[in-house]
């Protein structure tokens, strides 16, 4: 090839390839090289092939749906449909158009929304694990067809109740599935009703206290769980409505009237999972303080305490990332250096379960250095309230002022807005402060806060110990809560706190200083007792630095968890709205509201069910009753929470086996005694593998009716 230039080479290649193509019978033009003497861009090139790629994105129609798994973010998603199949999912970019009933609109900053789980959801929908029709375990079906005979040890083995998971599932029609489930419910309720039913349960080895708790109603052995029901109040919590209607069955089996009817046991969701913040009600009476995540963008100091806003808040993490762009400070308190720590200005490493000590140490430093807002503390916290040092109870106004009459107004915020009843007020009483102007005690009501306090001329002393003459003529020593806290905090000097928490002293000090200097400050703590050994103390202590600095009740401030439980409050009843969602889950089955135009207020609610923690099922289907060597048989569960034997379990939208601790024990020791397990879900789960029947449910994408979340 020596002496051949590039052009000659290309010409030679073209001829050679053309000859080879002719010999192979291929069309020459495919392999003929471009003429190097011509401009290859001069002519037009066929680009039809691009259509294939463009057509991938063609769609016939779109619709919007709300993604509603248990992360509770409820993103709106747009589905693109082609030939009746959802081919892709995307953002709606229209959050700014959403309005509440008052016309308040969201901002465009909510766009875009979704995470990778949301925009690939159609793969779950059409995936191989999708449940498409009802299925039944072969052994269970044989038992049903045999007329639900008593499950002796032999029959348990014959019908594989002791080997669920190894049995085979077969397809069953909806009609047959529903008929068999209904028949089984009747059979089980009947078998365990009355004295005979109790005898059967005792013979099977259930604790007598649990058997007694059935009250002789076999329906009480039926457990239902509307899994994570606040993700779909109508559909998921509808499970409890069904359970409540078992009261009708009980009246037929035991021949009792509605007054004595007993329905099934409702299994809990959020309390079993333990994802509440138990310290929050201690501080402010609310079940849990949660903020909408757009509130993060107002914060100047964001403290993640055992919280992972990066990985766990998915679509909402951008709010705090925007804060970084706006110059806010991010602090992470966690034992491990994880994804949130990579975004932090500083990470405070901490020994697990010592967060309460850290917050008490921070509080002490702030008080010692006067890094607090005295005006806020006096006007909005209970630090100035007087406490008797002899009883350590708050001093009540009627203890000090003879013939005391409260001035709490019936149309004030406590009564009118918060719904405090006169009976509750009578139990609480009014409190007392030491008034600096008059140098004497002065009563105040729970309405006397903030501006109202100032208007009435209160001048509360923050610190001090005083002698007070009580109405019974005795003298008592009282101190402000502020002063008592100084005593409590004596144990939490910097050296001790560093020793307890293993956190570096300079970082504890830095945190105290930052909370004292910056505003607004928000502390985000990771959920509840499912994460913490000392959740109550940890929640309560974290509020103290915020109370000192007025970082409560303002945009970008506060102490929050974010388990989504706050949603429950939205569905609660009130005298002016009616029974709330109880009207749905516990509408009286003996008096259903049949008028489609009736107001929700007129719905008659009556719960014939009784709540139960699945934790007992998860613990060998046993209550905590111990035969002690010294004190005999001791019932630690108590009567109010006493479970009943679990003979039928129906649940929706929840993977019980996945939730259960020591699932092996449940599968091997507990469930063989359960006569029917029905799981309702969108796809196969471990729980379905160990169930008797599974019913396929609509996914969030497929809802056709209205749902509430």
Footprint of ligand SF4 (CB under 6 A): 67, 69, 71, 73-75, 114-115, 117-118, 314-315
- Classify each residue of 428-457 as buried b or exposed e, where b means 16 or more C-beta atoms within 10 Å of its C-beta: bbbbbbbbbeeeebbbbbbbbbeeebeeee
Nearest to 246 by CA among 281, 217, 225: 217
Q: Using the minimum distance from each CB to ligand SF4, give the nearer residue, 69 or 578.
A: 69
- The DSSP code for 110 is G
Pairing of strands 135-137, 85-90: unpaired
The DSSP line for 423-471 is HHHHHH--EEEEETTTTEEEEE-TT--HHHHHHTT--B-SS-EEEEE-T
CB 563, min distance to ligand SF4, A: 14
Tokens 């807005």 — which residue? 417
CB 16, min distance to ligand SF4, A: 57
Q: Residue 207 and residue 223: Cα distance in Å, rounded?
A: 17
Q: Using the minimum distance from each CB to ligand SF4, give the nearer residue, 71 or 167.
A: 71
Q: Using the minimum distance from each CB to ligand SF4, give the nearer residue, 73 or 442.
A: 73
User: Which tokens hold the place of 591?
Assistant: 């008096």
Q: Using the minimum distance from each CB to ligand SF4, give the nearer residue, 67 or 548.
A: 67
Q: Using the minimum distance from each CB to ligand SF4, give the nearer residue, 296 or 547.
A: 296
Note whether 466 and 477 are within 8 A (CB): yes
CB 342, min distance to ligand SF4, A: 21
CB 333, min distance to ligand SF4, A: 25
Q: Residue 322 and residue 317: Cα distance in Å, rounded?
A: 9
Q: Using the minimum distance from each CB to ligand SF4, give the nearer residue, 213 or 701.
A: 701
CB 399, min distance to ligand SF4, A: 53
CB 308, min distance to ligand SF4, A: 14
Q: Using the minimum distance from each CB to ligand SF4, give the nearer residue, 67 or 367.
A: 67
- The DSSP code for 38 is S
Tokens 């990579």 — which residue? 342
Note whether 622 and 637 are within 8 A (CB): no
Q: Using the minimum distance from each CB to ligand SF4, give the nearer residue, 67 or 221.
A: 67
CB 98, min distance to ligand SF4, A: 15
Q: Using the minimum distance from each CB to ligand SF4, give the nearer residue, 166 or 311.
A: 311
Q: Using the minimum distance from each CB to ligand SF4, give the nearer residue, 303 or 314.
A: 314
Q: Using the minimum distance from each CB to ligand SF4, give the nearer residue, 115 or 494.
A: 115
Q: Which 3-state string (H, E, C) describes 547-610?
A: HHHCCCCCCCCEEECCCCCCHHHHCCCECCCECCCHHHHCECCCCCCCCCCCCHHHCCECCCCE
CB 315, min distance to ligand SF4, A: 4
Q: Which 3-state string (H, E, C) describes 329-352?
A: EEEEEECCCCHHHHCCCEEEECCC
- The DSSP code for 15 is H
Note whether 539 and 290 are within 8 A (CB): no
Q: Using the minimum distance from each CB to ligand SF4, give the nearer residue, 314 or 670.
A: 314
- The DSSP code for 35 is -
Q: Using the minimum distance from each CB to ligand SF4, give the nearer residue, 315 or 525.
A: 315
| Strand stretches in 111-175, DSSP E | 135-137, 169-171
CB 88, min distance to ligand SF4, A: 14
Q: Residue 304: what are its φ and ψ, rounded to 5°?
A: -100, 110
Residue whose CB is nearest to ligand SF4 in the complex, by number: 118
CB 560, min distance to ligand SF4, A: 18
- The DSSP code for 637 is S
Residues forming beta bridges with residue 445, ordered by sequence position? none
Nearest to 105 by CA among 352, 327, 294, 268: 294
CB 656, min distance to ligand SF4, A: 21
Reduce the DSSP state of residue 61 to 3 states and report it: strand
CB 112, min distance to ligand SF4, A: 10
CB 339, min distance to ligand SF4, A: 16
Q: Which 3-state string (H, E, C) describes 471-533?
A: CCCCEEEEEEHHHHHHHHHHHCCHHHHHHHHCCCHHHHHHHHHHHHHCCCEEEEECCCCCCCC
Q: Using the minimum distance from each CB to ligand SF4, give the nearer residue, 110 or 143.
A: 110
- H or E element that contains 176: helix 174-191
Q: Residue 537 and residue 540: Cα distance in Å, rounded?
A: 5
CB 682, min distance to ligand SF4, A: 14
CB 108, min distance to ligand SF4, A: 18
- ∠ CA(704), CA(707), CA(709), 5° rounding? 145
Q: Using the minimum distance from each CB to ligand SF4, give the nearer residue, 67 or 656.
A: 67
Instruction: List Cα–Cα distances, 93 to 69, 73, 401, 584, in angstroms.
Output: 21, 16, 62, 34
């Amino acid at each position: 090839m020596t002496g051949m230039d590039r052009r000659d080479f290309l010409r030679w290649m073209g001829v050679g390839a053309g000859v080879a193509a002719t010999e192979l019978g291929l069309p020459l033009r495919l392999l003929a090289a471009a003429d190097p003497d011509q401009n290859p861009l001069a002519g037009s090139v066929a680009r039809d092939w691009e259509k294939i790629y463009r057509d991938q994105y063609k769609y016939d129609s779109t619709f919007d749906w709300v993604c509603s798994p248990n992360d509770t973010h409820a993103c709106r998603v747009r589905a693109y449909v082609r030939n009746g199949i959802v081919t892709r999912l995307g953002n709606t970019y229209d959050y700014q158009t959403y309005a509440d009933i008052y016309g308040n609109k969201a901002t465009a900053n909510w766009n875009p929304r979704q995470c990778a789980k949301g925009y690939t959801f159609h793969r779950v929908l059409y995936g191989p694990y999708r449940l498409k029709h009802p299925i039944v375990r072969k052994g269970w079906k044989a038992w049903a067809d045999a007329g639900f005979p008593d499950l002796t040890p032999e029959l348990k083995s014959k019908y594989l109740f002791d080997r669920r998971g190894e049995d085979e599932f077969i397809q069953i029609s909806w009609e047959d599935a529903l008929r068999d489930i209904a028949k089984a419910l009747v059979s089980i309720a009947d078998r365990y009703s009355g004295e005979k039913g109790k005898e059967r349960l005792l013979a099977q080895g259930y604790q007598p206290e649990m058997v007694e708790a059935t009250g002789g109603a076999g329906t009480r052995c039926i457990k239902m769980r509307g899994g994570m029901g606040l993700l779909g109040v109508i559909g998921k919590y509808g499970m409890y409505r069904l359970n409540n209607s078992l009261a009708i069955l009980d009246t037929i089996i035991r021949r009792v009237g509605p007054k004595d009817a007993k329905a099934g046991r409702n299994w809990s969701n959020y309390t079993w999972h333990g994802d509440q913040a138990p310290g929050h009600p201690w501080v402010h009476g609310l079940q849990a303080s949660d903020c909408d995540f757009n509130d993060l963008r107002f914060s100047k100091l964001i403290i993640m305490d055992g919280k992972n806003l990066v990985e766990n808040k998915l679509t909402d993490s951008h709010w705090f990332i925007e804060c970084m762009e706006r110059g806010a400070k991010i602090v992470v308190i966690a034992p491990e250096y994880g994804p949130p720590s990579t975004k932090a200005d500083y990470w405070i490493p901490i020994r697990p379960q010592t967060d309460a000590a850290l917050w008490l140490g921070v509080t002490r430093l702030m008080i010692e250095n006067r890094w607090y807002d005295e005006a806020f503390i006096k006007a909005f916290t209970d630090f100035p309230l007087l406490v008797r040092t002899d009883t350590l109870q708050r001093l009540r106004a009627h203890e000090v002022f003879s013939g005391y009459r409260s001035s709490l107004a019936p149309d004030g915020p406590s009564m009118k807005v918060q719904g405090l009843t006169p009976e509750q007020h009578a139990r609480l009483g009014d409190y007392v402060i030491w008034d600096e102007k008059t140098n004497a005690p002065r009563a105040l009501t729970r309405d006397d806060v903030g501006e109202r306090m100032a208007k009435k001329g209160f001048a509360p002393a923050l610190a001090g110990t005083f002698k007070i003459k009580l109405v019974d003529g005795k003298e008592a020593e009282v101190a402000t809560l502020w002063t008592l806290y100084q005593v409590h905090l004596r144990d939490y000097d910097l050296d001790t706190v560093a020793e307890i928490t293993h956190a570096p002293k300079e970082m504890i000090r830095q945190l105290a200083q930052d909370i004292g200097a910056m505003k607004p400050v928000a502390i985000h703590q990771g959920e509840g007792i499912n994460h913490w050994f000392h959740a109550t103390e940890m929640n309560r202590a974290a509020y103290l630095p915020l109370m000192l600095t007025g970082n409560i009740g303002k945009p970008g401030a506060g102490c929050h968890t974010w388990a989504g439980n706050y949603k429950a409050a939205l569905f609660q009843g009130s005298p002016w709205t009616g029974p709330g969602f109880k009207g749905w889950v516990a509408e009286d089955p003996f008096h259903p509201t049949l008028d489609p135009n009736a107001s929700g207020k007129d719905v008659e609610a009556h719960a014939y069910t009784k709540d139960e923690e699945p934790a007992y099922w998860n613990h060998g289907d046993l209550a905590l009753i111990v035969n002690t060597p010294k004190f005999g048989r001791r019932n630690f569960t108590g009567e109010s929470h006493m479970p009943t034997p679990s003979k039928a379990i129906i649940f929706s939208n929840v993977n019980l086996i996945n939730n259960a601790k020591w699932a092996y024990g449940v599968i091997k020791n507990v469930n063989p005694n359960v006569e029917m397990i029905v799981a309702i879900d969108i796809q196969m789960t471990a729980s379905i593998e160990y169930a008797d029947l599974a019913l396929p449910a609509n996914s969030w994408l497929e809802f056709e009716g209205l749902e509430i979340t």
